[in-house]
Amino acid sequence: MATTLSAPALSATDRCDRCNAQAYVRVVLPGGTDLLFCGHHWSRHEDALRPQAIEIVDETHRLTEKPAAED
C-alpha cells in the first residue's frame, strides 16, 4: 500500500524557521522534512527550494487579503 504525503495547512502558531515570524509557506522536501517560511524569507529562498520540493503550501495570499465587510 502506497502512502501519500500531504502537508497540513498553516496556522497562526506556525513560525518561520529563519526569523520566528508567522509562517505563510511550508516546503516539504524529499524524506518528509518540512521548512516553514514567512513571506519575506520565502521570496528570498524560493528559487533555490522550489526545484527540490515535493510539496509547497503557499498561503502568502493571506498577507494581502482584506477582511470581509461586516453588516
Predicted confidence (pLDDT) at residue 62 exceeds the cutoff of 80:
yes
pLDDT digits (tens, 9 = 90+) for 21-53: 999 999 999 999 999 999 999 999 999 999 999
Measured distance CA(65)–CA(62) in Å, rounded: 5
Q: Give CA separation, 33 vs 44, 53, 61, 67, in Å.
A: 19, 10, 24, 33
Kindly report the backbone phi and psi dihedral angles of residue 56, in degrees, each rounded to the nearest multiple of 5, phi listed first.
-130, 125
C-alpha cell at 12: 497562526
This prediction has a pTM of 0.80
Measured distance CA(26)–CA(8) in Å, rounded: 9
